[in-house]
């Protein structure tokens, strides 16, 4: 049951992260996965803020000492969105069409369907990316639907890519609410936790850990819950889309106290299977 939020006590503190400022290079060239979280976590540890809101997708596998994820709210749309001035979908793009993305996963998944496409680097904030797509710098670009929805730019979406063909990044569409470990006065933050989302994210991030998911590998993981069963699918792809290793599995009995651990174990197990199958063929050069 949701508690009334003490909104009148909440002050928004805007923090620009390193990841927000990188305009022109692939994230993997700048290194590390904490690019979107580090400055915000420093503000938490310094006491400049008490609660951090991150995109779960950007949260590294390990929490920094002293910090904890207090809640995972209900997930937004997990799908990737297709954005184009001139074309209705991936299959409608011309031969050799120019597709803008900085994501190795989206690149590999797109090339698996359309090996003829030219993948071109696209970074910058959402407004910049949408403007470039609108001006025809690219035939199409791909972005997370959730980010567009959260920024009020849903109208830019021309179509949604299927979860099956574009298995989302671990945690895509979910948020992480992070606090200092041991801070006890944030019960309303913990009340925003959404159990089913937290279970899916635990499974997806288990797979991420097993697959050493970083910006250097093309990795997808997505969990869904139907009734009392969680189904996780995870995959790794060769960056050029010519090979793909995928596993799915399930756990039931999600009401138990150990469900979060079992969800994570499912992810670790399937991730290790995919990793073993892929060998070292899937790492970007």
Q: Show which residues are catalytic.
A: 58
CA dihedral (39, 40, 46, 48) in degrees, to 10, reads 120
| Distance between CA atoms of residues 56 and 169, nearest Å | 10
Among 33, 57, 79, 205, binds ligand PBG (CB under 6 A): 57
Among residues 179, 210, 184, the alpha carbon closest in space to that of 70 is found at: 179
How many residues can be counted in the chain? 285
Burial of 143: CB neighbours in 10 Å, binned 0-12, 13-18, 19+: buried
| Near ligand PBG in 197-256, by CB under 6 A | none
Nearest by Cα to 200 from 231, 175, 177, 161: 231
Residues 251-270, one symbol each (x = binds ligand PBG by CB under 6 A, - = not), give: --------------------
The reply on whether position 101 binds ligand PBG by CB under 6 A is no
**Sequence-separated (6 or more) residues with CB below 8 Å from residue 29:** none
The tokens of 218 are what?
Answer: 């093309």
- C-beta closer to ligand PBG: residue 145 or 251: 145
Among 34, 49, 69, 143, binds ligand PBG (CB under 6 A): 143
Q: Footprint of ligand PBG on residues 147-186 (CB under 6 A)?
A: 147, 172-173
Q: How far apart are CB 60 and ligand PBG at their closest, in Å?
A: 13
**111 touches ligand PBG by CB under 6 A:** no
| Of the residues 37, 55, 109, 282, which one makes contact with ligand PBG according to CB under 6 A | 55
d(CA 195, CA 254) in angstroms, rounded, equals 10
Q: Which of 49, 122, 144, 161 binds ligand PBG (CB under 6 A)?
A: 144
* Interface contacts to ligand PBG, rule CB under 6 A: 55, 57-58, 143-144, 146-147, 172-173
């Amino acid at each position: 049951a949701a508690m009334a939020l003490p909104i009148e006590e909440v002050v928004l503190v805007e923090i620009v992260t390193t990841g927000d400022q990188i305009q022109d290079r692939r994230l993997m060239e700048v290194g590390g996965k904490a690019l979107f979280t580090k400055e915000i976590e420093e503000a938490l540890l310094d006491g400049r803020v008490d609660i951090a809101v991150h995109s779960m997708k950007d949260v590294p596998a390990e929490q920094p000492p002293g910090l904890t994820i207090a809640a995972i709210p209900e997930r937004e749309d997990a799908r990737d969105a297709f954005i184009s001035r001139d074309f209705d979908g991936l299959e409608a793009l011309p031969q050799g069409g120019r597709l803008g993305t900085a994501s190795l996963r989206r690149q590999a998944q797109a090339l698996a369907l359309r090996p003829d496409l030219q993948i071109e680097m696209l970074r910058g904030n959402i407004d910049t990316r949408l403007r470039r797509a609108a001006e025809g710098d690219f035939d199409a670009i791909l972005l997370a639907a959730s980010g567009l929805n959260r920024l009020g730019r849903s109208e830019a979406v021309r179509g949604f890519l299927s979860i099956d063909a574009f298995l989302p990044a671990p945690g895509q569409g979910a948020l992480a609410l992070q606090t200092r470990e041991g801070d006890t006065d944030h019960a309303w933050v913990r009340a925003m936790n959404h159990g089913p989302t937290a279970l899916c994210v635990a499974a997806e991030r288990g797979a991420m850990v097993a697959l050493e998911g970083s910006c250097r590998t093309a990795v997808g993981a997505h969990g869904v819950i139907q009734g009392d069963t969680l189904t996780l699918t995870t995959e790794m792809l060769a960056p050029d889309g010519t090979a793909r290793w995928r596993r799915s599995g399930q756990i039931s009995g999600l009401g138990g106290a150990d469900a979060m651990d079992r969800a994570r174990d499912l992810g670790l197990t399937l991730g290790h299977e995919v990793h073993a199958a892929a060998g070292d063929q899937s790492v970007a050069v």
